[in-house]
């Protein structure tokens, strides 16, 4: 890949994509489609949108024809060890807040990284987007690529992922829907164990309660019952939530209100949770991990996913980030194993 590209799965057999120019802008012009790709902090003064002149929707067959896997796959990157100190520091600081009762849930994070030369990044990206049609249909494929000529850093950058989590979707009539996703088990485990585990149920219920409260800004939300769903090699507890927000609902307003949900942030929302989240990543190193990533159509309708289960590349480093929900009933060993499982799931899905 030598030119800019952005894409998002919009249906089981629909992948919306746009190629260069994809100019970063603070706010896209009316009448043009645009991809929303901010950093996790949603920092003001940035240009979180990638404005597209047009967006093409490809079937899986058409995607394979347009973006075939390279004949020779790239070499497996020399992955380092996951950063357990980052995770343990976040876990301990959260445990203190859980004990004092100022928070009920938080999501400490870690990462695994590997060096990749800028000249090899385009080859690696070609491999990754060639894998998109082999992903389970229950995952939302998403990502973008910007060549070195566009970044101004001498290095390309990209983000590629397959998220199990829909942050929200707005249909043409203004129906606003979201998903509460929490709790994790390997897919070859017992779904009943996941559904009945008190820790996982508490973790998931905090996400449901928060999203219902946030969607209340647009009306009276309706939530489905909780079920266990498989997303590739992992299973999660899921509930669907929706509200009739009306035709004037604004894409970016919804994204900023819902992000970060307790599935990636802290619960309850407020100064304590925001301060703890900032302490996890004071330098903004997580970049777009866990941030919203979406596509807004000219009509105002669109889809936005949570940017997890993916890879980020910038400045010669390829990174996989992972986090897990921690509540008062959590055990460190279990949570650390969960983030390792998530990292391994990403490497397996993308064959890296």
- Nearest one of 140, 147, 143 to 121, comparing CA atoms: 147
What is the rounded CA–CA span in Å between residue 36 and residue 53? 14
CATH 3.60.120.10 fits 5-350, yes or no: yes
pLDDT of residue 87: 98
pLDDT of residue 182: 82
130-306-285 Cα angle (round to 5): 90
pTM value?
A: 0.94
- What are the domain boundaries of the chain? 5-350
What is the rounded CA–CA span in Å between residue 180 and residue 191? 17
Dihedral in degrees, nearest 10, Cα atoms 265, 243, 30, 36: 20
Secondary structure letter of residue 295 according to DSSP: E
pLDDT of residue 327: 92
Query: Backbone dihedral region of 28: left (phi > 0), alpha (psi from -120 to 50 degrees) or beta?
Result: beta
* Strand-pair partners of 319: 113, 312
Cα-Cα end-to-end distance for the chain:
18
Residue 54: partners with Cβ closer than 8 Å, 6 or more residues away: 18, 33
Helical axes 271-280 vs 84-100, angle rounded to 10°: 160
- pLDDT per position in the chain (352 positions), as tens? 679 999 999 999 999 999 988 989 999 988 899 999 999 999 877 899 999 989 999 999 999 999 998 877 788 889 999 999 999 999 999 999 999 999 999 999 999 999 999 989 999 999 999 999 999 888 999 999 999 988 888 899 999 999 999 999 999 999 999 999 887 777 776 555 777 788 888 888 889 999 999 999 999 999 999 888 888 788 888 999 999 999 999 999 999 999 999 889 999 999 999 999 999 999 999 999 999 999 999 999 999 999 999 999 999 999 999 999 999 999 999 999 999 999 999 999 999 9
- Which residue has 């921690």 as its token pair? 326
Secondary structure letter of residue 98 according to DSSP: H
* Strand-pair partners of 140: 163
Tokens of 64: 């394979």
Alpha helices in the chain, H assignment, sequence order: 60-66, 84-100, 118-130, 148-151, 191-196, 198-215, 251-258, 271-280, 332-350
* Strand-pair partners of 311: 160
Alpha helices in 35-83, H assignment, sequence order: 60-66
């Amino acid at each position: 890949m030598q030119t800019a590209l952005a894409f998002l799965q919009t249906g089981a057999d629909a992948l919306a994509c746009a190629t260069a120019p994809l100019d970063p802008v603070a706010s896209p012009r009316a009448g043009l489609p645009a991809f929303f790709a901010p950093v996790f902090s949603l920092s003001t003064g940035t240009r979180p949108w990638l404005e597209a002149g047009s967006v093409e929707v490809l079937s899986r067959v058409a995607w394979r024809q347009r973006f075939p896997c390279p004949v020779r796959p790239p070499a497996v990157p020399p992955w380092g060890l996951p950063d357990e100190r980052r995770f343990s520091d976040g876990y301990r600081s959260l445990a203190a807040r859980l004990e004092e009762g100022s928070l009920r849930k938080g999501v400490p994070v870690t990462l695994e990284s590997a060096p990749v030369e800028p000249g090899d990044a385009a080859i690696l990206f070609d491999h990754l987007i060639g894998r998109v049609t082999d992903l389970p249909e229950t995952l939302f494929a998403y990502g973008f690529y910007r060549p070195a000529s566009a970044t101004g850093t001498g290095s390309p950058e990209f983000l590629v992922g397959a998220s199990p989590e829909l942050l929200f979707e707005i249909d043409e009539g203004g129906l606003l829907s979201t998903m509460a996703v929490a709790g994790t088990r390997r897919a070859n485990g017992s779904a009943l164990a996941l559904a009945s585990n008190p820790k996982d149920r508490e973790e998931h219920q905090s996400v449901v309660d928060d999203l219902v409260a946030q969607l209340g800004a647009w009306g009276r939300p309706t939530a489905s019952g909780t079920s266990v769903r498989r997303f590739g090699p992992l299973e999660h507890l899921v509930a669907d939530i929706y509200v009739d927000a009306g035709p004037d609902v604004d894409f970016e307003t919804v994204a900023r209100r819902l992000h970060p949900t307790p599935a990636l942030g802290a619960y309850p929302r407020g100064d304590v949770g925001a301060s703890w989240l900032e302490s996890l990543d004071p330098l903004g190193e997580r970049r777009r991990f866990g941030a919203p990533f979406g596509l807004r159509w000219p009509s105002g309708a669109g889809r936005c996913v949570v940017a997890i289960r993916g890879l980020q590349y910038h400045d010669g480093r390829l990174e996989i980030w992972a986090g897990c929900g921690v509540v008062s009933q959590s055990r460190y060993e279990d949570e650390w194993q969960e983030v390792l499982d998530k990292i391994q799931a990403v490497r397996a899905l993308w064959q890296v």
